[in-house]
Amino acid sequence: MGIIGWIILGLIAGVIAKAILPGDDPGGAIVTIIIGIVGAIIGGFLASRILGIDVNEEFFDLATWVSAIVGSLVLLLIYRAVVGRRSMARR
């Protein structure tokens, strides 16, 4: 699966991550899409390197989807923690 596949998968994973972790995120939909794409790529990379799971085979493979969604969830949580601290410091 190429980079275009990971971008499309990341878009969908970002939407799923946002559905799992609803809330008011600074940045809106564009930031959520970017977090989904980057999270999917990072999640796929880590799953293949650390766990030895081959996530680059097929677009509709369960391991590929799980790694992309988990990567997006983790990145969304990190983003909320970092941006949440900044907004609290401004008050």
Q: pLDDT averaged over the chain?
A: 80
Q: Residue 8: which residues within 8 A CB-CB, separation 6 or more? A: 59
> Which residue has tokens 């699966």?
1
Cβ–Cβ under 8 Å, residues 24 and 78: no
Determine the Cα–Cα distance for residues 46 and 23; give it in Å rounded to an integer. Answer: 26
* Number of Cβ atoms within 10 Å of the Cβ of 69: 23
Residue 87 has pLDDT above 70, yes or no: no
Residue 88 has pLDDT above 70, yes or no: no
The per-residue pLDDT for 5 is: 82
Residue 44 has pLDDT above 70, yes or no: yes
Cβ–Cβ under 8 Å, residues 11 and 38: no
Cβ–Cβ under 8 Å, residues 8 and 64: no
pTM for this predicted structure:
0.80
